[in-house]
A and B are shown apart, each in its own frame.
Chain A
Amino acid sequence: MKVDLTIALAGNANVGKSSIFNQLTGLGQIIGNWPGKTVEKAEGMLFHHNKQIKIIDLPGIYSLSTYSQEEIVSRDYIALERPDVVVNVVDATSLERNLFFTLQLIEMGIPLVIALNLVDIAKKKGITINQVKLQKLLDSFVVLTIATKGIGVHEIVDAALEQANKQSPENKPGIRYGPEIEKRIEKLGRVLTGVNIGYPLRWTAIKLLEQDSEIVNKIKEKHPDVIVAANILAEEISEIHKEPCSTVISSERYAVAARIVKEVQTFKESEKPSISERFDGISMHSVWGYVLMFTVMLSILMFMSFFGGWLSETFTNLFESFNPHLTGFWPDLLWNGGVVGLYATLAIAFGFILPFYLILGVLEDSGYLPKIAYLMDRPCHTIGLHGKACIPLLLAFGCNVPACVGCRIMETKRDRFIAIFLSTLVPCSARTVVILGLVGAYVGVQWALALYVFDFILIFIIGKLLNKIVPGVSVGIIMEMPPYRLPSRKVVLKQAWNRFKPFLITALPLIILGSIIIEAMRITDILPLISNALSPITVVWLGLPAFTGFLFIFGVLRKEAALVLLMAAAGTVNISSVMSPVQMVVFALVIMIYIPCIATIAALIRETGWKKAGLITLTEVGLAIFIGGLAYRLLNVFM
């Protein structure tokens, strides 16, 4: 497709870039009220004034001196791929910190449009910003927006088009630093002539003075002399200011940002604390914060257990009332394989998966997730991580795949590996289906709860071990705390649908197909052949019925399928007639741990490489078989 213009959305984390992106492209980027949701860039198209415009949504970035992996994605895109226009989305409620990044963009000399977002929330806080003055001081277009309501988003594109149409983008001077720094930038600029790494010259010189490791590494090999010169000059600046050169430069940028804010912003501080702040007092309290957190988690689990159980029963009764009770090969295959597969899957989808995605959407949009990161930071240290890791770990309850990708918010390779490993052990919605739908429904909620508790203990132990084995130490949390906000119904619904759609499209047909295949194999007596091959593990060691062997194989594709197919393989929806309570607990336990599903394995390979992905997978298979057999022997004593 012909693209007339490329616009990239860039700015600090959690300022509304993805909201603007969704408004412009009509796509469903995941959005939510916590920093670090977007870890990969997303692309979308917009047809505006007869022009095909490509919109790029970039991960949040605080400074071009990058800190975590997702920030590097943003920086490299802006600096190397050079979009036609960069739209810098700025949070009007914390203008000073946002301008720190804006000033760096201006320094890079890219055509720029500033979207001053969240102006409604700023107004509520008593902050008003003089748009005209800001426009003049920054010498760039400034558009006021309220992204969640779609206000101002098309004006952004108009401004971007206008900006792009300016034939020769005037050379903006950017910030002028103190004379002692400017002199050295100029000196280094002269040394740099002829060295081309794709970045603008002045910017490269400043980055070298800041001793930015990425840029230094890019130049070091071919031009070691440049690095030596840069180090000498940086040393001179440090000497004058008695501070490392990079902090001197940051301080100067902040001084400029503060000066601009002083001129354009008026702030009337309200007397009483806002509702969000008062709620912080409870949700981040040393005692009540934890009480609230456990109550929230437990009630979600309880709700899902009862609601899901009730809905799947209703579905079963509804469909069973239509059961024609025909006999023969084809009716058997179509009804027991196809229809039972369909309604069992629908019951799972609407009873467990969709409600969970709705709850997750509310949690994400409300801004509660970062509070959990704060509360859990100290406990996370015992497993060698810091509080930020809680966010991907919580997302893993929905699905392990985005959780593995989301671990990119961790700053070091070590932290990422541990967080990814642990994410794959978190019971995702598919495993929740098996735990609640089988153990919760047939054995008792307390046993389902026990399985969860056991899983958390297992995660803790594995985390402790990994902390010992993997060398290095965690860097510690540095994270922005967004204020609470009322979750938007539209956003939550859309988000849940975006996550649910892939399940309907890929999982539903797959499970029904699997169900028909199993039914066919059962009728034609092929199933026992496969099951018998696996029986040394399934029957002898784990104490499960032989037909479960096939389920473990199919479960690698989709773990929720294991429950539906269990009914198909057993030839009945009444599972308690073919499995004892102990067998159900052991079955759910093994399903919970035994292997990441195929989609997760693919994500693991992408995020950590073949070797580590293989290591994680094999460890979990071994662990599940070992623990399952042990549980079977122990539980038989108690139950």
Chain B
Amino acid sequence: MPKEHIEEYLEAIYDIAGREGTAKTTEIAERLKNAPASVTEVFQRMKQNGLVRYESHKGVSLTAKGYKAAIKMKRKHRLLEVFLDKMLHLPSDKIHDQACKMEHTLTDETETALCKTLRGPNHCPHGSPIPPCNLEVKNCQECLSEESLKLEKRDKDVISITSLKHGEKAKIVFVRGGGGAMQRLCDLGLTHGTVVSLLREAPLNGPIEICVRGCKLVIGRGIAEKIFVQKT
């Protein structure tokens, strides 16, 4: 089974089921335009590799390992989309398909270089957030100012604060971007390593409410998406 084939499956499961949900075999088959029988076969193989949990009557869901691999692909895909759009000015209807083909051959080194060249973009041209990298950095400036690419990789599950579940606690590890809003967050106590908890979020991508150092803060979605945390 070719590597890109598995990667396409991971992305499809991620798109449909997300981090913790379950996708039905038929949904995946429809999306990838494959026969359900062959889809089941791939699921079995992926299960053996520890990428998914699969039971024929329930459907398929990502394991921690599978999730990590899936968001890695998403990151590469969306970074490539930004590259094709911003730097090469390809027509917008071509971007997605082209990125789909390129993402499987993109090495991690090139991915980091791409991210730096694009100055740490936040969203793909279609508006989906780009998952953060897995380098040992505290924020984008650090990476952008660093000359060499020899940054240590972090082997941690770093997610945006908006992906936390309600009531979940996590430690701030990385803040994307810079400027006034970031300084303000810092002044309100959201410094590196601070434990925060997500209290609630407003519907339709509205703001989130968090608890930090005993205070409650409401933060708009756009700003919140740039705050990355690690579960404690």
- Give the interface of A toward B (CB within 8 A): 62-63, 65, 67, 93-97, 100, 238-239, 242-244, 246-247, 250-251, 254, 258, 280, 284, 286-287, 370, 373-375, 377-378, 386-387, 411, 475-481, 483
Contacts and interface: CB of A to CB of B under 8 A. Distances in A.
Closest 8 CB pairs of A and B: A476-B220, A63-B187, A378-B206, A481-B216, A477-B220, A251-B191, A286-B203, A250-B186
21 contacts: A62-B188, A65-B187, A95-B214, A242-B137, A250-B186, A251-B186, A254-B189, A254-B194, A258-B213, A280-B200, A284-B200, A374-B206, A378-B221, A476-B219, A476-B220, A478-B219, A479-B218, A480-B215, A480-B217, A481-B218, A483-B216
Interface string B91-108: 000000000000000000
Contacts of A244: 139, 141, 178
Contact of B218 (A65, A243, A374, A411): A374
B202 A246 contact: no
B112 to A, nearest CB: 16
Given A244-B139, A246-B186, A370 B203 contact: no
Interface of B: 137-139, 141-142, 145, 178, 180-189, 191-192, 194, 199-200, 202-207, 209, 213-223
A239 B142 CA distance: 8
A97 B218 contact: no
Contact of A62 (B178, B187, B220): B187
Contact of A93 (B184, B207, B214, B223): B214
A477 B188 CA distance: 13
A387 B181 CA distance: 15
A112 B70 CA distance: 55
Contacts of A97: 188-189, 213-215
Contacts of B200: 280, 284
Contacts, number: 129
Nearest to A386: B220
A143 to B, nearest CB: 22
Contact of A243 (B187, B192, B214): B192
A375 B202 contact: yes
A545 to B, nearest CB: 47
B180 A475 contact: yes
A377 B219 CA distance: 10
Contacts of A100: 187, 189
A460 B219 CA distance: 23
A378 B188 contact: no
Contacts of A483: 216
B202 A373 contact: no
A479 B208 CA distance: 11
A437 to B, nearest CB: 37
A477 B219 contact: yes
B139 A378 contact: no
Contact of B207 (A246, A374, A411, A475): A374
Given A378-B205, A478-B220, A480-B217, A247 B181 contact: no
Nearest to B138: A243
